[in-house]
């Protein structure tokens, strides 16, 4: 008779102790949520996304410029890595992902103050906060580096650095907060799994505005501006493609089925995009070009980005076909119609892809995969929510980019002189050149 009541008393005491413990040290309580498998996968995914910028994007971009601008184009990707990483740690992470204001986060974690071995971010409770911070850092890096493609061959390096700092602070950080950090677009239920809005559309429209403000390259439309070495661009595409498994798969923030589902849709979209672009060229220009295949692959990858993690694998194929078609049209017809010189088609591929993919996420979303139903599952409202996200991104990124360029232009000329442009940016901006 005495034994059970003793045990009950002991249990009650333990429960009371545990409750007190949990109340007084909430951070400790969260430590138990860190999961080894999730952490391992996210370390790999972080490395994969960093690889997308260097050397992936550096090779993809520099293979498409002329020989005299190869190093300068690589320098833009390289400096984005160095510069944005520091800024991200200093204040970017805190403003984007700490605090849940509608417009911007807080500075509670600036310079990572308060980040501990045990701390986690509410957005990813099963991995260390430092890992979540690093993973998101690689997204900020590649977004800034993407914009540079639109102004390749003519932007001064010093102006590019100033512009990058401003663009990161006033375009990327707020957008990341709105969509992923608990801001107003997140609250509205806008679906953007891995950055159709935050990364691709914002970089695309930013690039378009920048290309327009900077003006066309000398000789655009009259001289031969053919790529220096497309084999570099093919290698770059391969690295981007593989890296995208970490970009979209890692956006599940866990080693789970949703990550694998996202990777599957991503890979299929890249394949479908490459085949579609090549097929259109074959039909309309009699030859399927290698540049067309890689452009289609990247278009498919950029377009599936917001939808991956919400859609089924076969939706990836459909999205890839649509991406290949629309991005081809944007890079050929649209660009010629409006005569803007988006050097490396940042708008044509990433802008149009990000816009299309964000809308299509609202069409194809499968409740069983991402927890949200799209148009096809009887929720047309989601497409309107997606459209709202697209308009907000277009207006914000486009508008701020314009203001920033005008502002930077006051302190440093945006563009190299004509003589420097003819001579090449490698020698005029960096004092070195490929022989």
Partner 1 sequence: MKLVVAIIKPFKLDEVRQALTAIGVHGMTVTEVKGYGRQKGHTEIYRGAEYVVNFLPKLRIEIAVASDVADKAVEVITANARTGQIGDGKIFVTPIDHALRIRTGETDSDAL
Positions that interact with partner 1 (CB under 8 A): 64, 224-227, 285, 289, 291-292, 295, 331-333, 335-336, 345, 348
Of the pair 224, 419, the CB lying nearest partner 1 is at 224
Of the pair 344, 405, the CB lying nearest partner 1 is at 344
Of the pair 226, 410, the CB lying nearest partner 1 is at 226
Least separation in angstroms between residue 348's CB and partner 1 is 8
CA angle 346, 372, 276 (to 5 degrees): 40
Least separation in angstroms between residue 331's CB and partner 1 is 5
Of the pair 165, 225, the CB lying nearest partner 1 is at 225
Least separation in angstroms between residue 99's CB and partner 1 is 43
Least separation in angstroms between residue 296's CB and partner 1 is 11
CB 418 within 8 A of CB 218: yes
Least separation in angstroms between residue 291's CB and partner 1 is 6
Query: 209 is written with which tokens?
Result: 């505005």
Q: How far is CA 142 from CA 36, 51, 221, in A?
A: 27, 10, 29
Least separation in angstroms between residue 287's CB and partner 1 is 8
Least separation in angstroms between residue 226's CB and partner 1 is 5
Least separation in angstroms between residue 160's CB and partner 1 is 23
Nearest to 162 by CA among 426, 408, 368, 424: 408
Q: How far is CA 82 from CA 46, 130, 211, in A?
A: 16, 18, 24
Least separation in angstroms between residue 216's CB and partner 1 is 12
Rounded distance between C-alpha atoms, residue 345 and residue 104, angstroms: 30
CA angle 398, 205, 289 (to 5 degrees): 165
Q: Which residues pair with 415 in a beta bridge?
A: 155
CB 408 within 8 A of CB 162: yes
Least separation in angstroms between residue 289's CB and partner 1 is 7
Of the pair 237, 295, the CB lying nearest partner 1 is at 295
Of the pair 70, 363, the CB lying nearest partner 1 is at 70
Q: How far is CA 303 from CA 74, 193, 295, 399, in A?
A: 24, 11, 12, 23
Of the pair 105, 300, the CB lying nearest partner 1 is at 300
Of the pair 315, 350, the CB lying nearest partner 1 is at 350
Of the pair 272, 331, the CB lying nearest partner 1 is at 331
Of the pair 217, 267, the CB lying nearest partner 1 is at 217
Of the pair 89, 298, the CB lying nearest partner 1 is at 298
Q: How far is CA 89 from CA 32, 131, 187, 415, in A?
A: 25, 12, 25, 30
Least separation in angstroms between residue 285's CB and partner 1 is 6
């Amino acid at each position: 008779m005495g034994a059970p009541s003793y045990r009950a008393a002991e249990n009650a005491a333990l429960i009371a102790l545990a409750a007190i413990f949990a109340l007084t040290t909430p951070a400790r309580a969260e430590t138990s949520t860190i999961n080894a498998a999730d952490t391992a996968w996210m370390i790999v995914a972080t490395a994969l996304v960093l690889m997308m910028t260097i050397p992936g994007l550096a090779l993809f971009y520099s293979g498409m410029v002329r020989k005299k601008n190869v190093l300068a184009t690589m320098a833009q990707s390289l400096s984005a890595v160095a510069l944005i990483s520091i800024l991200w740690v200093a204040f970017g992470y805190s403003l984007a992902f700490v605090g849940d204001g509608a417009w911007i986060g807080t500075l509670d974690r600036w310079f990572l103050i308060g980040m501990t071995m045990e701390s986690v971010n509410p957005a990813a409770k099963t991995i260390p906060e430092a890992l979540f911070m690093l993973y998101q850092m690689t997204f900020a890096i590649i977004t800034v580096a993407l914009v540079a493609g639109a102004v390749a061959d003519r932007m001064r390096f010093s102006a590019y650095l100033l512009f990058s700092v401003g663009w990161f602070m006033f375009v990327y950080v707020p957008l990341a907060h709105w969509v992923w950090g608990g801001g107003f677009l997140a609250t509205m239920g806008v679906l953007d799994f891995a950055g159709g809005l935050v990364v691709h559309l914002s970089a695309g429209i930013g690039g378009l505005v920048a290309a327009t403000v900077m003006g066309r390259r000398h000789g655009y439309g009259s001289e031969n501006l053919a790529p220096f070495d497309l084999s570099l661009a093919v290698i770059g595409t391969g690295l981007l493609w593989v890296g995208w498994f970490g970009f979209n798969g890692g956006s599940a923030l866990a080693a789970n089925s949703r990550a694998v589902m996202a990777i599957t849709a991503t890979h299929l979209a890249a394949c479908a995009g490459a085949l579609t672009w090549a097929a259109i060229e074959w039909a309309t220009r009699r030859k399927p070009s290698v540049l067309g295949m890689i452009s289609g692959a990247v278009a498919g990858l950029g377009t599936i980005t917001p939808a991956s993690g919400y859609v089924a694998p076969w939706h990836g194929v459909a999205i890839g076909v649509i991406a290949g078609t629309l991005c081809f049209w944007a890079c050929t017809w649209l660009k010629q119609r409006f005569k803007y010189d988006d050097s490396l088609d940042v708008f044509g591929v990433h802008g149009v892809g990000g816009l299309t993919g964000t809308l299509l996420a609202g069409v194809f979303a499968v409740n069983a995969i991402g927890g949200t139903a799209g148009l096809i599952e009887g929720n047309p409202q989601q497409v309107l929510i997606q459209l709202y996200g697209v308009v907000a991104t277009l207006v914000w990124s486009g508008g701020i980019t314009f203001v920033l360029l005008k502002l930077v232009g006051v302190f440093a000329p945006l563009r190299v002189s004509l003589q420097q442009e003819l001579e090449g940016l490698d020698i005029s901006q960096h004092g070195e050149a490929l022989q």
